[in-house]
Amino acid sequence: MAVLPDPRNQGDPEVADAIDRMAKVRADSDGRAELGQVYIAMFNNPAVAERVGALGEYIRFEGCLPDRVREIAILRFSFLQGMRYEWAHHVRPATLAGLDQSTIDSLAEPQVSSLTDGFETAALRIVEHVARGESIPAAVQAKFAGQYGDRGVVELVTLCGLYSLIGYTAASFDIEIEPGLPEPPF
């Protein structure tokens, strides 16, 4: 088992302050007062944790994609990559973004049929191509860019990269889903 030590036990007040700050930024959307264990593990290298955290904060709280599109993309990518930790952490933000339970459930099926918005469907297609390591078809990219611009396309692909990094970290260091979060349906 490749478990990392808890960096909070090292007595570094700067690390403790950074962990508290990151937890506060995420508290409302995550519904938890504590920072996720994946970020705490990353604080074994504070510079990495802070930079990954900053990218996550930008994408989640300052990016150009609407919350609903972003959370659809995160849940679908999590399912396609088998990233259970990320799925568990994004059900609540997806609900806050307006997704109902049947839509959330459909994102963990081989074929998603519950989305009727063409831009959301284009987001799913982009995520599916990224998850397979494929080029995005021009028509799909044009559809999504027609609503969110090239900036939105880049943000969506970067989102996939960010959640890959977080998912790989959780898997590599045997980070369990915290109590109280939903078990993924896969």
pLDDT digit string, tens, across residues 147-167: 999 999 999 999 999 999 999
Q: Look over the chain and give the mean of its residue pLDDT values, rounded to a whole number.
A: 94
133: CATH:
1.20.1290.10
What's the predicted TM-score (pTM) here? 0.94
pLDDT digit string, tens, across residues 13-40: 999 999 999 999 988 777 777 899 999 9
Domain count for the chain, please give it.
Answer: 2
pLDDT digit string, tens, across residues 36-63: 999 999 999 999 999 999 999 999 999 9
For the ranges 1-5, 37-41, 136-140, the lowest mean pLDDT is seen at: 1-5
Alpha carbons 57 and 26: distance in angstroms, whole number: 8
The pLDDT of residue 3 is: 86
Query: Half-sphere exposure of residue 19, counting CA atoms within 13 Å on the CB side?
Result: 24
Whether residue 20 is found in the same domain as residue 91: no
Calculate the alpha carbon distances from 30 to 25, 70, 78, 122, 181 in Å: 9, 14, 16, 26, 10
Whether residue 117 is found in the same domain as residue 158: yes
Residue 1 pLDDT > 80: no
The pLDDT of residue 28 is: 78
> Helices then strands (H, E): number in the chain?
8, 0
Rg of the chain over Cα atoms, rounded to whole angstroms, equals 16
Whether residue 110 is found in the same domain as residue 49: no
- Find the mean pLDDT for residues 60-86: 97
Whether residue 34 is found in the same domain as residue 72: no
Residue 113 pLDDT > 80: no
Alpha carbons 158 and 168: distance in angstroms, whole number: 15
Q: Domain range spanning residue 27?
A: 10-62
- Flag whether 182 is in a domain: no
- Find the mean pLDDT for residues 107-130: 92
